[in-house]
Structure 1
Amino acid sequence: MLVSAFMIIVLTIISACGSNGANSDKTANSQTPAPTAVEESRTITHAMGETVVKGTPAKIVVLTTQGTETLLALGIKPVGAVQSWIGDPWYDHIKDQMEGIEVIGDETQPNLELIANLQPDLILGTKVRQEAIYDQLNAIAPTVLTENLGDSMIENFELYAKALNVEEKGQQVLADYNKLIEEASARLGDKTKLEVSLARFQAGKARTYYKQNFAGVVLDQLGFARTEAQNKEEFAEEITKEQISVLDGDVLFYFASDRSGETTASDTAKEWLADPIAQNMKVNKNGQSYQVDEAIWNSSGGIIAAKLLVADIEKYFETIKP
């Protein structure tokens, strides 16, 4: 009887200890929650000031066609993007990568309601297009704007890569692009000494393009000479039909800014280049005048288009002698 009583007491003590241990564990667990990851905040300086961006944004809205190509080149798919200037709704050279991305208007009129509904982590745009609505955009999500477009592709790419927290990947993409430029320039050799002229045709008018535009920058990177009339650190200047001889050179590349389904710009190009003044130009007499893809050479303005532009240039110069 004494043994039995003793065993009962021992078992009771063991049971009590076990129970208290379990309760202690539960209490400890409730007082020490699992640590959560802290998103690092970064301050991005851009055209409108400074914006704080947390961590690596996952849901991106992009308000320029140039910016869309930046994201795609970085392996990032935006949740929303402005439609391309040509195409329905995307440029042919990127449309196979744009499935599932919501159209949120165009660069000049992005739809704020659609943008808000997407609940983005980050909005990327440009001051030259969206300065007036910056405060509204920034109220939706942290917003980073470039100063301009066109000739500032590389700087804009670097700014976006920084905002997206993928600077290392961005550096690699730019290194690959620079290698492409270097190799293409070597293949072109003395052909880069030929003086290149650039022009843009719109309905009823034309512009002579200088060096500070998208195609002009790529030509400069490749080391091409420009005509005396176009060898200026400026963007472009409108000309009349009577002034078309300013487009003369060793080679003329021109693009026509037709909207989808229209040919009015191309019709203007044909009319002006058929004019007797134009027919007397050296470039036409030598058969070195080429209409090129407007999306690639001008309006898209992104790094994907830049690579295609380099390939285009090499293709045209295969048959041109220095």
Structure 2
Amino acid sequence: MLVLSGCGDKENNTDTSAVSADVETVEAEEVEEVREIQHAMGITEVKGTPQRVVILTNEGTEALLALGIKPVGAVRSWTGEPWYDHIKDEMTGVQELGFENEPNFEAILELDPDLIIGNKVRHEEAYEQLSKIAPTVFSEDLSGQWKINFELYADTLNKKAEGELVMKAFDDRVAEAKETLGDKEEIKVSVVRFSAKDVRIYQKDTFSGVLLEQMGVGRPESQDVDNFMETVSEEAMETMDGDILFYWVTEADVYEKANQWLENPVFKSLNVSKTNQVFEVNETIWNTAGGIKAANLLLDDVVERLK
């Protein structure tokens, strides 16, 4: 104001407007809250509502989109070119950063993010390097922990209230589905993955397992375990049995292997085979996407198949 007092009227008016705008900007910056976020690697200070967010997990990408935030950069979907079909329309213009187990650090740096979100399981060794680029927050685990991670992401992004609404809407849908389906505890749902490397039964601490448990759907004894998965040998095919079996195949060239198992006399002797209750499902929705958007699609799929 002292500088302005020596200026002419016209200059005074112009400068006052400019200074007022500058003051408003400074004041806005001054009142922008700095929040301490407790996460898997410690405590990170996050200022205000981040605008340029880099996300390094597939489930995290879905969380951001559900919260109304388009990331400036994201790791590519495990399958898709480069995004899963159910999110690709929302990912136009997002910089692809490689797969989540090998993100492109140079590309991250060039994006000049104001927040990086990753995961301890995937990126623990890179935490210090990423923290030098921007404030960095890591979730603890993956597998079936998407709801826990979603809460952390919403808090980190200063979207806690929005996150609670998103999660309530999902939980309300699950409650409606339970009412529609009725008591399904007696129905034992088996979940199996065929890959070139091995054959797995998926247990409760998985993306599909968490939802099935929330819906009150039963699991075979071999899968009613707080664990991620177990590898199955041909000699132990009986662990795949149940009232209904859902499976997916990870690559096209694995179908021959899957068909050999499904046509094996031991498998043919199982209850699910005798009752013709063996169904192929979409791997993206049942396993790899792992976020809130896929969870809603998985819920639709389970209801459709069990009703």
| Paired residue secondary structure (1:105) | coil
What's the counterpart of residue 158 of structure 2? 165
C-alpha deviation, 1:267, in angstroms: 2.8
What's the counterpart of residue 221 of structure 1? 214
Separation of aligned partners in 2, 1:55 and 1:20 = 38
Q: Quick check: 2:207–2:286 contact (8 Å CA) kept in 1?
A: yes
2:283 to 274, 291, 294: 294
- Listed one character per residue, the Cα deviations across residues 205-253 of structure 1 (whole Å, up to 9, x for unaligned) are 2011111111000000100011112111111111112211110000111
1:270 to 245, 256, 259: 259
C-alpha deviation, 1:191, in angstroms: 3.7
C-alpha deviation, 1:95, in angstroms: 1.1
Separation of aligned partners in 1, 2:91 and 2:7 = 57
Give the partner amino acid of 1:104: L
| Paired residue secondary structure (1:199) | strand
Given the alignment of the two structures, is residue 313 of structure 1 paired with residue 302 of structure 2, yes or no? yes
C-alpha deviation, 1:255, in angstroms: 1.6
C-alpha deviation, 1:190, in angstroms: 2.9
| Paired residue secondary structure (1:194) | coil
| Paired residue secondary structure (1:182) | helix
What's the counterpart of residue 107 of structure 1? 100
Mark the structure with the bigger radius of gyration: 1
| Paired residue secondary structure (2:158) | coil
Give the partner amino acid of 2:151: E
CA RMSD of aligned residues (A): 2.1
What's the counterpart of residue 253 of structure 1? 246
Separation of aligned partners in 1, 2:19 and 2:262 = 81
- Listed one character per residue, the Cα deviations across residues 110-165 of structure 1 (whole Å, up to 9, x for unaligned) are 00000000000100110000011111111111110001112111110000001100
TM-score normalized by the length of structure 1: 0.87
Q: Quick check: 1:204–1:265 contact (8 Å CA) kept in 2?
A: no
What's the counterpart of residue 114 of structure 2? 121
1:199 to 160, 167, 192: 192
- Structure 1 segments, 4+ long, off by >4 Å, are 19-23, 25-33
- Listed one character per residue, the Cα deviations across residues 231-290 of structure 1 (whole Å, up to 9, x for unaligned) are 1111111111221111000011112222xxxx1333322221111111111101101111
Given the alignment of the two structures, is residue 71 of structure 1 paired with residue 74 of structure 2, yes or no? no
What's the counterpart of residue 180 of structure 2? 187
Separation of aligned partners in 1, 2:255 and 2:110 = 39
| Paired residue secondary structure (1:43) | strand
Compared CA separation, residues 303 and 22, structure 1 to 2 (3 A): same
Separation of aligned partners in 1, 2:103 and 2:6 = 63
| Paired residue secondary structure (1:71) | helix
How many pairs align? 295
Q: Can you give the 5+ residue segments of structure 2 that lack an aligned partner in the other structure?
A: none
What's the counterpart of residue 147 of structure 1? 140
Q: After superposing the two structures, state which structure 1 stretch, 169-178 or 196-205, moved more.
A: 196-205
Separation of aligned partners in 1, 2:19 and 2:58 = 51
What's the counterpart of residue 304 of structure 1? 293
Separation of aligned partners in 2, 1:112 and 1:204 = 30
Q: Quick check: 1:202–1:264 contact (8 Å CA) kept in 2?
A: no
| Paired residue secondary structure (1:109) | coil
What's the counterpart of residue 40 of structure 1? 33
What's the counterpart of residue 209 of structure 1? 202
| Paired residue secondary structure (1:124) | strand
C-alpha deviation, 1:84, in angstroms: 0.6
Give the partner amino acid of 1:124: I
What's the counterpart of residue 240 of structure 1? 233
